[in-house]
Structure formats: structure tokens, C-alpha cells
Amino acid sequence: MILSRDECSAGDVGSPLRECWLYNRGLMRYEEALAWQRSLQSSRVNDQNLNDVLILLEHPPVYTLGTRATLDFLKFDPAATNWDVYRVERGGEVTYHCPGQLVGYPILNLRYYQQDLHWYLRKLEEVLIRSLAVYGLKGDRVPGMTGVWLEGKKVAAIGIKVSRWITMHGFALNVCPDLGGFERIVPCGIADKPVGSLAQFIPGIDLDEVRAVVATAFAEVFGVKLMNGE
């Protein structure tokens, strides 16, 4: 098992880092990214020796609901709307994706880390908290909830699916999106905490710069060597 750097003991210092392919993409339709994730996860379920993957991208406006998410948190009729709405195999309630939001899809084999979903969720939060710290922003966790908050505003949502310890889905960090789309839902089923973005704290923040910061934090937290994908 390869531990993240902050958990390595002295005897592990010389251990080689696990390799992880990094795919930086621009705007990609949700269904295309979903099919890609499913293919990557399936191939790794069948071959445990394949390298891990981190996909970073943006989506056109789209709403997604977790497997057991309730439609009560939608403020519109999904059967009578032009908005794209998908129910997918991740956990969690309804969320919204749009340009200006950095979405990360790690396809990791947790057998090489820790076979513990709570550990994995906390590590994803840590990636985002460290990324915010680069900008002098203090990201917070809220007990009993998943995600990252900034001065009481939720700036990052997390939802995952794991099959035979291979992960898919991941996190969405609001960098500089139009937050208007969140007004049509109760984001993550949380009615009493507003959604926010990094741009509200750092006007003019650049998403591509944040993308690089998040990739670096991901490599540090999970103890991997990122390799550029095609």
C-alpha cells in the first residue's frame, strides 16, 4: 500500500510514487465524460495493474442527481425542461455543473491506498483545502457533511462511486462560474447554506491556474506522480 506523503513513515520515504495519468480537458459534455469514466473504471476493475487517472475539465450547464437523490430538491419539472438532467451512480443529492467550475474525476485503485471510503472522501476534501490555501483562503469542513466551505459558503461538492475499490465521479470546485443555475435546485439537499465561488473572494481568478494548483495538491495528498495524458 502506498500512503499519501503526510502519512508515510520514515521507512516509506524511499518508496516510489504510484503513477497517475493526468488528462486536462476543456469543456466536455457530461454524457461524454460519464462514458469515459465508466470505460476507465471498467478496464481497471478487470485489470488491477493499470495506472490511476485524474481527469480535470468543465461541463456545459447540466444537473445531476445521485442514485438515491430525491426530486424534491429540484425547483423545476425535469420532464418539462430544456435543461440537461442526469441521474447517475454517484452518492449525494442534486448538483449543478457549468463553465467556470473545475470538475475532477479521479479513477483510483484504492487497493494501493486505503480501502476506506471515508478516508477517500476526506482526502478529496484535503486536496481542495490545500488548493484554497495557496490563495490564502481557509477552506473548512462541516461535521457530518461532505465538501468544502469558505466563510460559510459551499465552494466544492463531492460525490463518488466505487466498484471493487476503483473510484469514479469526484469533486466540483466553483472557481468562477455563473452561480445562477444553483438557484433552480437545493444544492446537495442543503437549504440553509449558500453556494459560493472563489471569484467572490478573488475577483479575476483564473480557472486554468487553479487547475494546475489542484493537480499539484492532488499529487501531494495521494502521493502520486502525475503524467500528462494525451
pLDDT-derived band of residue 93, with 50, 70 and 90 as boundaries? confident
Query: Is residue 72 in a domain?
Result: yes
pLDDT at 15: 65
pLDDT-derived band of residue 86, with 50, 70 and 90 as boundaries? confident
Question: β-strands 101-107, 52-58: how paired?
Answer: antiparallel
Query: Is residue 2 in a domain?
Result: no
Q: Are the C-beta atoms of residues 127 and 214 closer than 8 Å to each other?
A: yes
Residue 112 has pLDDT above 60, yes or no: yes
Range with lowest mean pLDDT among 3-7, 23-27, 80-84, 93-97: 3-7
Catalytic (active site) residue 188: yes
Query: Is residue 1 in a domain?
Result: no
Query: Is residue 5 in a domain?
Result: no
Reported as a single tens digit per residue, the pLDDT across 15-58 is 678 999 999 999 999 999 999 999 999 999 999 999 999 999 99
Catalytically annotated residue among 20, 98, 176, 188: 188
Range of the domain at 44: 19-228
Query: Is residue 113 in a domain?
Result: yes
Query: Is residue 126 in a domain?
Result: yes
Q: 88 in the Ramachandran plot: left (φ > 0), alpha (ψ -120 to 50) or beta?
A: beta
Question: β-strands 85-87, 153-163: how paired?
Answer: unpaired
Q: Which CATH number characterizes residue 198's domain?
A: 3.30.930.10
Is the pTM value of this prediction over 0.85? yes
Residues 6 or more apart whose CB falls under 8 angstroms from that of 52 comprise: 18, 19, 20, 21, 106, 107, 108, 109, 112, 224
Residue whose cell numbers read 486536462: 24
Residue 7 has pLDDT above 80, yes or no: no
pLDDT at 184: 87
Reported as a single tens digit per residue, the pLDDT across 163-196 is 999 999 999 999 999 999 998 888 787 777 789 9
Q: How far apart are CA 227 and CA 19, in angstroms?
A: 7
- Between 67 and 204, where is the model more confident? 204
Query: Is residue 185 in a domain?
Result: yes
Mean pLDDT, residues 70-91 taken together: 86
Q: How far apart are CA 103 and CA 110, in angstroms?
A: 20
How many domains are there within the chain? 1
